[in-house]
Structure 1
Amino acid sequence: MIFLSFHTWNPVQGLGAMEWVGWENYQLALTDPMLWQSLWNTIVIACLSGIPQHLVALPTAYLLVRLGARARHWLSVAFFMPYVTSTIAVSMIFYVMYAPASGIINKTLVLLADASLTQWAFAWVHEAMPIRWTQDNALIRYSVSFVVFWKYVGFNIIIYCAGLMTIPKDLYEAARIDGANAWQQFRYIALPLLRPFIFFAVTLTIIGNMNLFDEPYVLTRALQQAADNGMTISNYLYRVAWEWLDMGGAAAVSWILFGIIALLTAIYFYLFGRKGLEEHS
């Protein structure tokens, strides 16, 4: 890949068409506005989907552990099912649900707008219909982010459940005797001791979300409906390689993406990881 990134090559023309261009692929990529737009889209979607994952997964895992083994096992399996389900299948199902005319989401909003009990809150729906969740440039980031959140929140719940199970129950008992309520036990006992697990889970989220490809690709019908806000940097990489048949440029973009992920991970480790891992190693 490093060797290829310094060449221009159309694979259709065979290996003989490979031509040395030096740093030209990197210069072209870094001066392409589409690359920076796709990078910004990736960061926005990563934040919109990644931050809620952990804000929901932490208290949910704490609640599951407090419910006991039987309830925790069944509910953990239920939350984990989206993660082990095919990403393409999940994205296709949501694509149908997001459909402007026949999707269940828009149909539900119309029902709520017509119901007497909820009409006051959904009076705006008829004027907004049809809502184009995966075609409207202003909504596509939120639509993709929700699918990513729904699929991966269960994975983080499992990680945090495993972490919470390592905390001795004696600590909770001592805190309860001292008058600490459930929130105080979560805030002052569970969260500090979960720092290594939080670091691990957030690191995986950063790496995974910066490589996001399948969900936006399927939801935008292989980028045919992707407006400015619908293309991630991995989608841009795919377009350079397989639509423009510029394998050398795609290799350069892949190394740029590698550098960005490494930089973000290093910054996160420097700010949050070392302290938590040293204190609880």
Structure 2
Amino acid sequence: MVSLNETRKRVKTKKFVSEEKKDMISGYLYIAPFFIIFGIVGLYPAIFSMYLAFQKWNGLNTMVFVGLDNFKIVVNDPLFWKSVYNTIVIGLMGTAPQLVIGIILAFLLNQSFLRFRNFFRVTIFMPYITSMVAVALIFSVLFSNHETSLANYVLSIFGFDPVNWATSEWGTKIAISIMVFWRWVGYNTIIYLAGIQSISNDLYEAATIDGANKFQQLLHITMPLLKPFIILTVFFSTVGALQLFAEPTIFLGAGAFTRDEAMTVVMYLYRDAFKLQSFGTASATAIILLFIIIIFASINTFLTSGIGRKKRGVKR
């Protein structure tokens, strides 16, 4: 026979387990909306795109399995490699300067002698929240082919000939790179500013007492301690640069997909899918782009991970 105490212990154990299960179920229910939405708009399209890369499909007819033919079509297309070249060049021209200048601006915005610091912090972040369409329209006017455009007027001051920004090879790349730089430099600056403010002021005060100037403090204190933030911004900037689409599309207008001066990989992908109705080659391009992003992001992360690392000599 089971004693009364043992029966009470079993009832308490059952209640405890049931309450624990209820908490677990309620926890899963709270996080379920995110995973459901992610599965619908994120995971499913990615898996379907991988499947579609091996099919020939125009969006209406029956899919036909073609194996690796879509990848062969893409890698044998000179326009694809031109788009890769354009993406890398515009990405380097628009991304690398903003990371360097972003650190400098964040360091300056953190200085106590600077007046109206909050105003400058808000102002420098404004381009990021500005509509991309409005930004592209303004830059299309600033970099118009007319001799009296602002960009050509500035060039004429220094004795240079006017440039056909919207039609020339390098003119288009430079205009789009400046647009990318202007839009994202404030975003990276705010991230670096948050990182700088997490650094103890005692380090800067000690460096000042030791005779270090502002540049030396930036180089030997700020840069090494900003390493996690630099790695983060480099990673996101690399991914964003290789996925460049809105800026060149709006800047070039209706002829964006018929010209190759600033055709990026995502524009090439979009053209195949929605202009040529070739969803198989578009999906193959997306997979190739994924590997390109992984390669460049890994290289950049490896290079930036060496910031602040000191070489240690072996004493004998």
- When normalised by structure 2's length, the TM-score is 0.77
Does 2:72 align with 1:24?
A: no
Q: Secondary structure at the match of 1:139?
A: helix
Gaps of 5+ in 2: 1-48, 311-316
Counterparts of 1:135 and 1:144, CA distance in 2: 12
Q: How many Å apart are 1:27 and its aligned residue?
A: 1.1
Q: Secondary structure at the match of 1:221?
A: helix
Among candidates 282, 293, 299, match of residue 261 of structure 1: 293
Question: Where in structure 2 are the equivalents of 1:1-281 lying within 5 Å?
Answer: 1-11=49-59, 14=60, 16-67=61-112, 71-101=116-146, 104-106=149-151, 108-109=153-154, 113=156, 121-122=158-159, 124=160, 128-129=161-162, 131-224=163-256, 227-273=259-305
Q: How many Å apart are 1:70 and its aligned residue?
A: 6.6
**Structure possessing the higher relative contact order (Cα contacts under 8 Å, 6 or more residues apart):** 1
Q: How many Å apart are 1:108 and its aligned residue?
A: 3.3
Aligned amino acid, residue 52 of structure 1:
P
Q: How many Å apart are 1:104 and its aligned residue?
A: 3.5
Q: How many Å apart are 1:134 and its aligned residue?
A: 1.4
- 8 Å CA contact 1:137, 1:227 repeated in 2: no
CA-to-aligned-CA distance 1:175-204 (integer Å, 9 cap, x gap): 111111111111111111111111111111
Aligned amino acid, residue 86 of structure 1:
S
Q: Secondary structure at the match of 2:253?
A: coil
Aligned amino acid, residue 5 of structure 1:
A
Matched residue, 2:12: none
Q: Secondary structure at the match of 2:121?
A: helix
Q: How many Å apart are 1:146 and its aligned residue?
A: 0.5
Aligned amino acid, residue 273 of structure 2:
A
Counterparts of 2:57 and 2:264, CA distance in 1: 23
Counterparts of 2:309 and 2:287, CA distance in 1: 31
- 8 Å CA contact 1:196, 1:277 repeated in 2: no
Counterparts of 1:34 and 1:229, CA distance in 2: 10
CA change 1:76–1:205 in 2 (3 A) is same
- 8 Å CA contact 1:29, 1:253 repeated in 2: yes
- 8 Å CA contact 2:147, 2:153 repeated in 1: no
Task: Work out the number of aligned pairs and report it.
Answer: 262
Q: How many Å apart are 1:31 and its aligned residue?
A: 1.2
Counterparts of 2:188 and 2:220, CA distance in 1: 20
Q: How many Å apart are 1:268 and its aligned residue?
A: 2.4
Counterparts of 2:149 and 2:212, CA distance in 1: 44
Q: How many Å apart are 1:6 and its aligned residue?
A: 0.7
Counterparts of 2:148 and 2:133, CA distance in 1: 18
- 8 Å CA contact 1:135, 1:227 repeated in 2: no
Gaps of 5+ in 1: none
Max radius of gyration: which structure? 2
Q: How many Å apart are 1:72 and its aligned residue?
A: 2.7
Quote the RMSD (CA, aligned, Å).
2.2
Q: How many Å apart are 1:225 and its aligned residue?
A: 7.9
Q: How many Å apart are 1:103 and its aligned residue?
A: 6.0
Q: How many Å apart are 1:135 and its aligned residue?
A: 1.2
Counterparts of 1:17 and 1:41, CA distance in 2: 35
Counterparts of 1:62 and 1:78, CA distance in 2: 16
CA change 1:225–1:26 in 2 (3 A) is closer
Aligned amino acid, residue 146 of structure 1:
I
